[in-house]
A and B are shown apart, each in its own frame.
Chain A
Amino acid sequence: MIQRLRHGDEVAHLLTLTFAAGILLLTSMLVYELWVNSHLSRAKFGWLFFWTRTWDPIFDNFGASPFIYGTLITSIVSLMIAVPLGIAAAIFLAELAPRKISDSISFLIDLLAAVPSVIYGLLGIFIVVPLMRTTIGPLLINTLGHLPYIGRLFKPPNYGVGYFTAGIVLAIMVVPFIISVSREVLLTVPRDQREAALALGATRWESTWQVVIPWARTGILGSIFLALARALGETMAVTMVIGNDPKITASLLAPGYTIAAVIANEFTEATGDLYLSALIELGLVLFLMTFILNGLARLLIVATERGGGPSS
C-alpha cells in the first residue's frame, strides 16, 4: 500500500476522482439551490403558477403561463424555419458536396455557432426588427393573414418586435447545431445502403429521402431536440427582440415574453422575496425543460450512432 502510494497512483486516482465527483456535486447543488430558493413561490402558488396569466409584482401575484407560452411559441417558430433548412443543408454536406467543399462549409458553420448570442441580439434589434416592421410583417399580414384558420396568426398590429422576430433570430442561432449533428449522423449511414438503392434504379434524391434519411432519423430527431433545448434556454437575443410584454396573444407578430427574458430583465429589480422566488421558480421550470430535452437528445444520438437502421 505504501509502495503504491509513493508511486502516486492511488493519490492521482483519488485526486482526479474528487474533481470528477465535484461535477456531480456541482450539478446537484444547482438543482438544490433552484429548488430551495423557489420555496416561497412554490408554497404560495402551487401548480396554479403554471396556469395563472397575471404577472403583478406590485400585488405579489405571479403566474408563469405567458412566459411558458412565449418560450414554446418562439421555439416552435424557430424550429419551423431551422429544421427544413438545417436538414437540407446537412443532406447537401453529407451526400452531395465533395469532401473538401463539405469540410470547409462545415468549418464556416461551426464558426457561425461560435458567434455570441448578444451579437445576434444586436443584429436582431438593428436589422431584423426594422425589416420585420417595414417588409416581412406587412407581407405576412397581406398574404397569410387572409387565409382561414392560420390567418389568426398573422394579424396587425405589427411593431417589428414579437414572437415571430424572436423565432427568426433563434432559427439562425440553432441551425448550425442541427446541421453539424445531422451531418455527422448522415455520414455514419453505411455506403451499401445508398448503393443498393441506386442499383435498384432510384435517383439520388430518392435514395437519400427514402433510404438514408429513414436510416438516420433517430439521430436527426436527436439533433432537433438539441436545437430545441438551446432555443428554449436562449436569453439575450430573444430578450432584445421579443418586445417584453407578458401577454398571451394569438398573433405571432404581437410582442410577447419568454422565461429566460423575464429572468434577465427583472432579476436585478426584484424587490420582494416572493418576487425573487417566483423568478427563480421560472428558472427551475426552464432548467427542467432543457434537462429533459437534452437527456432525450443524447440518448437518441447515441442510439443511432451505435446501431442505426430502419427498424430502430
Chain B
Amino acid sequence: MIRLRLLWRKSLNAIMLSLTGVAAFAVVSVLFLILGYLLLHGGKSLSWDFFTKLPKPVGESGGGMANAILGSLKLLLLAAVMGLPVGLLAGVYLAEFGGKTFSFVIRYTTDLLNGVPSIVIGIFAYSLVVLPVKHFSTLAGGVALAMMVIPITVRSTEEFLRAVPGSLREGAMALGASKWKTIATVILPAASGGIMTGMLLALARVAGETAPLLFTAFSNRFWSPGWGQPAASLPVMIYTYAIAPYDDWHRQAWAAGLVLLMLVLLANLGCRLALNRRGSARSA
C-alpha cells in the first residue's frame, strides 16, 4: 500500500514536471512559428518595389508602401521628440530629487498610464489634436505615440539612474560639485548607455502600434507632406490590407508584416543583448 502510494507520488512528480517543460517549450515555439510564417509568406512578396513605390489604385496589382514606411518614420520621430525628453526628465526627478509620497504617486500614475489601452490613448489624442482642427494629421498620431513612449522611458530611466553606484555620486559631491552638476556630468553619462537602450526599446514598442493611429494619423494612399495631413503607417497598412478582400493586398500585408516584425525584433534583440552584457559585466 505504502509502496503504491510512493509510486503514485513519484509518477505524479515526473508527469507534472515534464508537463511544465512542455508548456515552456510550447510558448517559445510560438515565436519561431510566427517568424517562420512571416518569412514564408512575406519573403515571397517582398520586392524592391515595396520600398520605393506608392500603393496602386484598387484593382491594379503591384505597387509598394514607400509612403507608409516614411510615415512610420515621421511618426516615430515625433514620438521621440515629444515623448523622450519628458520621460527622461521625469525619470531624473524620480531617481534624484523625488520626495517619498509624491514620487510614489508619480510612479503609480506612470504605471497606470503604461497600462491604459492604446485605443483609449487614441481617443485622447483625437479629442486633443484632431477635434479642434477637424482633420486627421501626422501630428495627432505623433502625440498619441508620444503618450505611450513617456511611461516606458520614465521607468527605464529611473531604473538605470538608480543602478549607478553611490560611490560615483559621493565622489563628485566630495569634489565640490553641486547636485545638478553631479547629475549632469557624472551620473547621467554613467547611465547613458542603459538610458538610451531603454529609449530605443520604447520606440520599438510604439513602432508596431496600430490602434492609436487609426483615428489620429489615419491613413493615406499618397505621400503626406508636412505634419498636418493624414499619413500612412506600416501597422495601419497591414491592418487595412489584411482585412481587405484582395489577394494582392494580402501578399503586401505579409510583406509589410515581415518588415515591421524584423525591425521590431532586431531592435529588441540588439537592446536586450546590450543590456544583458552590461548587466553581467557589472556583476562580474
Which residues from chain B contact A7 at a C-beta distance below 8 Å? 178-181
Which residues from chain A contact B193 at a C-beta distance below 8 Å? none
Is there an interface contact between A287 and B117, defined as CB atoms closer than 8 Å?
yes
Is there an interface contact between A85 and B26, defined as CB atoms closer than 8 Å?
yes
Instruction: Kindly state the interface size class of chain B when it binds its partner.
Output: 35 or more
Which residues from chain A contact B121 at a C-beta distance below 8 Å? 30
- Chain B 248-274, CB-CB to A under 8 Å as 1, else 0, gives 001001100100110011001100100
Whole-angstrom distance between the Cβ of A252 and the nearest chain B Cβ? 22
Instruction: Determine which of B22, B34, B108, B239 lies in contact with A115 in the assembled complex, contact meaning CB atoms within 8 Å.
Output: B34
Is there an interface contact between B127 and A264, defined as CB atoms closer than 8 Å?
no
Is there an interface contact between B268 and A294, defined as CB atoms closer than 8 Å?
no
Assembly CA distance A301 to B134 (angstroms)? 43
> B235: CB under 8 A from chain A?
yes
- Chain A 199-216, CB-CB to B under 8 Å as 1, else 0, gives 000011110010000000
> A139: CB under 8 A from chain B?
no
Q: How many A-B Cβ pairs are below 8 Å?
A: 263
Q: Chain B residue with minimal CB distance to A4? A: B178
Is there an interface contact between A8 and B120, defined as CB atoms closer than 8 Å?
no
> B139: CB under 8 A from chain A?
no
Which residues from chain B contact A287 at a C-beta distance below 8 Å? 116-117, 120
Instruction: Determine which of A116, A203, A280 lies in contact with B210 in the assembled complex, contact meaning CB atoms within 8 Å.
Output: A116
Looking at chain A's contact residues, is the secondary structure mostly helix, strand, loop, or mixed?
A: helix
Is there an interface contact between A236 and B211, defined as CB atoms closer than 8 Å?
yes
Is there an interface contact between B239 and A111, defined as CB atoms closer than 8 Å?
no
Assembly CA distance A230 to B86 (angstroms)? 25
Which residues from chain A contact B20 at a C-beta distance below 8 Å? 88-89, 91-92, 95-96
> A283: CB under 8 A from chain B?
yes
Is there an interface contact between A9 and B179, defined as CB atoms closer than 8 Å?
yes
Whole-angstrom distance between the Cβ of B118 and the nearest chain A Cβ? 6
> B75: CB under 8 A from chain A?
no
Is there an interface contact between B123 and A112, defined as CB atoms closer than 8 Å?
no
CB contact under 8 A between A16 and B239, given known A33-B124, A233-B118: no
Is there an interface contact between A235 and B118, defined as CB atoms closer than 8 Å?
yes
> B38: CB under 8 A from chain A?
yes
Is there an interface contact between B260 and A119, defined as CB atoms closer than 8 Å?
yes
Whole-angstrom distance between the Cβ of A90 and the nearest chain B Cβ? 8
Q: List 8 A-B contacts (CB under 8 A).
A: A27-B112, A92-B23, A97-B24, A115-B31, A119-B238, A119-B260, A121-B242, A283-B120
